[in-house]
């Protein structure tokens, strides 16, 4: 499947991604207090289970690892986007507190992230491989050439998949 399994390049990528995911996931757990919905808790728990799997996979099959990592990142994105929307909607105090640097640093409307999540489900039905390219490129943060290598396809094919997928997704974002 992949020839890159042993290359230290991939190992470095895996390590970085893993650390990043754990840090991102943990930062919300630590904020803790009262997670308002069961859903959020379940989401974070599920994420942890997956990360525990990922830990086992770190030294095994890179493609599997990156798939899990991408899923975890997708969950995180959804979770954080919802958190942002809730913070803005529900807590005027927080909104005041967040006004300057934080709110301004948000350049992409979190609502778009929710739409993206739905569009991805549709893409999966239309073109499975293109959806996998989105997972590895956008969510796992791999370069397109690395994606091609992992999926054992020509770099040109990966690039075309990405072009198709992003056009598909963008067409569905309001």
Which residues are at the interface with other proteins (CB under 8 A)?
Answer: 19-20, 22-24, 26-28, 30-31, 73-74, 76-77, 80-81, 83-84, 87, 98, 101-102, 105-108, 110, 112-113, 116, 126-127, 130, 138-141, 160, 163-164, 166-171, 173
What is the rounded distance in angstroms from the CA atom of residue 131 to the CA atom of residue 74? 12
Q: How many Cα atoms within 13 Å fall on the side-chain side of residue 118?
A: 8
Q: Which two tokens stand for residue 163?
A: 């072009």
Closer CB to other proteins, 1 or 169, in the complex: 169
C-beta closer to other proteins: residue 1 or 143: 143
Please, what is the minimum distance in Å from the beta carbon of residue 5 to other proteins? Answer: 18
72 with 46: CB under 8 angstroms?
no
Contact criterion met (CB below 8 Å) for 113 and 77: yes
Which residue from 124, 30, 17 is spatially nearest to 73, judged by alpha carbons?
17
Smallest distance, Å, CB 59 to other proteins? 13
Nearer to other proteins, 64 or 166 (CB): 166
Nearer to other proteins by Cβ, of 49 and 97: the residue is 97
């Amino acid at each position: 499947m992949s020839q890159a399994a042993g290359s230290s390049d991939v190992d470095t990528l895996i390590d970085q991604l893993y650390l990043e995911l754990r840090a991102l996931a943990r930062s919300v757990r630590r904020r803790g207090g009262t997670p308002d919905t069961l859903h959020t808790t379940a989401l974070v728990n599920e994420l942890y289970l997956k990360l525990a799997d990922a830990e086992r996979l770190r030294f095994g099959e890179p493609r599997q690892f990156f798939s899990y990592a991408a899923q975890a990142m997708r969950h995180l994105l959804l979770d954080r986007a919802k958190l942002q929307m809730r913070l803005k909607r529900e807590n005027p105090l927080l909104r005041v507190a967040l006004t300057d640097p934080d709110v301004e640093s948000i350049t992409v409307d979190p609502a778009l992230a929710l739409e993206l999540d739905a569009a991805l489900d549709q893409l999966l039905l239309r073109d499975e491989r293109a959806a996998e390219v989105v997972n590895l490129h956008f969510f796992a943060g791999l370069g397109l050439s690395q994606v091609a290598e992992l999926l054992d396809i020509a770099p040109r094919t990966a690039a075309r998949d990405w072009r198709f997928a992003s056009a598909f997704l963008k067409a569905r974002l309001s």
